[in-house]
Amino acid sequence: MGTEDFRAAVAEDTPAASYRIIALIIASALFMETLDATVLATAIPTMAQDFHVRAPQMSVALTAYLLALALFVPASGHAADKWGAKNIFRAAIGVFMAGSLACAVAPNLPVMVVSRFAQGIGGAMMVPVGRLVLLRTVSKRDLVAAYSWVLMPGLLGQISGPPIGGFIVTYLHWRWIFRINLPIGAAGIFLVGRYIPDFRETIRRRFDWGGFALAGVALAAALSGFETWGHGASMRIAGPLLAAAIVFGLAYVWHAGRAMHPILDLSLLELPTFRLSFIGGSLTRITQGAQPFLLPLMMQLAFGLNAAQSGMITLGTSLGTFMMKGFVRPILRRLGFRTSLTVIGVLGACSYAACGLFRPGWPFPLIFAVLVLSGFLMSFQFTAYNTIAYDEIEPERMSSANTFYSTFQQLTLSLGICAAAAALHASMALTRRPVPGFADFSAAFWVVTAISFCSVFANVRFDPQAGRQMSGAR
């Protein structure tokens, strides 16, 4: 059975309860990955003590994971088409679990780096292939609701990571950060085998090895360059990496224009809804990546709260993501994608900017309320962007579109952390403060807010009828 026939048959026969089950299985994988990444950042100082290294040296463990993502996310679509999305999704969870177990028993930093790279291989296949399963098995009319179920646990993992990490490091041991992935992953493998349908492309395409090498080097150099620059390294260190990213990126663009089936299909940007969702979503994701990095730091360094107190306040963002689930479909049905994204894009940018105004004189309930609103608006935007991107995608190009979107989604989330860190370091350098103060955090929040606000210029260019079948807009 061809992809189009399979998708139509499965989508029409998939009741609401079934697509929610599929969405929640995929969401559990996204939650596991995002929670692992954010919790680990909290545990870095304690891990450095156990490994007898300085805390900055531990950043190589974070970089190893990002490098694996950059190298293997572009190959996820081809692997799913060739060996079946169900098989690859299940195997990816297994690889992620194996990497987690290796991290949990790692005796030193080199072993931890290798284990994190293995985790990254699993993560690179796990979430993009999970999204592909959703796109192939859920009808367009249910895609908005399905994505809201998928995105909330992912955002919850990203926001709740710091307080959970603080609890684990304080009351247990940092190795439990990796052990908690094992039961979640085991349950995921069982549920994938039971509920996820098996499908693969009937048309076999030759793997683009040249594009895989060029894109992998370009993305790895970009992520490494942004991370080293964001953590305060001079441009003498970050500059060559970023220059290599530009050179190999341009080489890939030249290659993609000549390849029969490029691993990252740039021709997808010719489709208006995909292009505008890619641009607007990328700009907004920079802020999404920055906020979970900046908020815990500001609460602990500037407000003087401990990890548990900081976590209780920043959980307001998670509460907002849950509140969004019941509102996204009615809002899109009434206003459509263009108006919704434009209005909520402006409001979302204002909520990010408000975080830069937080001071000790603010009542904590008011701070919490701002974060709830921010979480609501952030979650709405990504549900809408991740849905409208596929409005014009033909079934046979769904895998390519998902690979392209997932690759740059990861890049922009990482870029958000780097942009926030770079803005924070720049403000500290200008004020000559060794420890960031409120003014430095304000500057960082407003820099990423300005980037996020630029998404409005993409949002207003959506066709008024874009995504009408998905939203049921009037």
Query: 226-280: per-residue pLDDT in tens?
Result: 777 665 556 677 788 888 889 998 999 999 888 888 888 888 888 899 999 999 9
Kindly report the CATH number assigned to the domain that includes residue 23: 1.20.1250.20
Q: Nearest 5 degrees, angle CA 86-CA 88-CA 89?
A: 65
Q: Are residues 254 and 273 in the same domain?
A: no
Contact 222, 242 (CB under 8 A): yes
| Domain finish residue from 262, 278, 301 | 262
Structure tokens at 14: 């998939």
Q: Are residues 123 and 184 in the same domain?
A: yes
- Is the pLDDT at 195 greater than 70? The verdict is yes
CB within 8 Å of 404: residues ≥ 6 apart = 264, 265, 268, 278
Q: Are residues 287 and 409 in the same domain?
A: yes
CB within 8 Å of 217: residues ≥ 6 apart = 244, 248
Q: Are residues 189 and 239 in the same domain?
A: no
- Is the pLDDT at 330 greater than 50? The verdict is yes
Q: By percentage, how much of the chain surpasses pLDDT 70?
A: 84
Which of 262 and 142 is assigned the larger pLDDT? Answer: 262
Contact 220, 411 (CB under 8 A): no
Where does 296-380 show beta strands of DSSP type E?
Answer: none
Q: Are residues 182 and 302 in the same domain?
A: no
Neighbours of 300 (CB within 10 A): 17
Q: Are residues 243 and 152 in the same domain?
A: no
57-112 pLDDT, tens digit each: 666 777 778 778 777 888 887 788 778 878 888 899 999 999 999 998 988 888 98
Which of 3 and 57 is assigned the larger pLDDT? Answer: 57
Distance CA 131, CA 319 (A): 23
Report the C-alpha dihedral over residues 90, 91, 95, 100, rounded to 10 degrees.
Answer: 10
| Separation in Å, CA 170 to CA 46, 54, 174 | 10, 20, 9
Distance CA 302, CA 418 (A): 20
Contact 126, 29 (CB under 8 A): yes
Q: Are residues 300 and 198 in the same domain?
A: no
- Nearest residue to 46 via CA among 174, 178, 180: 174
Residue found by looking up tokens 């204002």 in the block: 350
CB within 8 Å of 111: residues ≥ 6 apart = 102
Q: Are residues 178 and 154 in the same domain?
A: yes
- Nearest residue to 157 via CA among 28, 256, 248: 28
CB within 8 Å of 215: residues ≥ 6 apart = 74, 248, 252, 263, 264, 407
Q: Are residues 215 and 279 in the same domain?
A: no
Distance CA 41, CA 113 (A): 14
What is the per-residue pLDDT for 467?
74
- Structural domain count, the chain: 3
| Domain finish residue from 196, 227, 262 | 262
What is the per-residue pLDDT for 95?
93
8-65 pLDDT, tens digit each: 444 444 444 466 777 778 877 777 777 776 667 667 667 777 888 765 566 677 777 8
Q: Are residues 20 and 144 in the same domain?
A: yes
What is the per-residue pLDDT for 254?
93
| Domain finish residue from 225, 244, 262 | 262
Range of the domain at 25: 1-205
Q: Are residues 300 and 347 in the same domain?
A: yes
333-388 pLDDT, tens digit each: 888 889 999 999 999 889 988 988 999 889 988 999 999 898 888 888 888 888 88
Q: Are residues 256 and 380 in the same domain?
A: no
- Is the pLDDT at 179 greater than 80? The verdict is yes
The runs of H, that is alpha helices, within 138-271 are 140-171, 176-179, 181-195, 209-230, 235-256
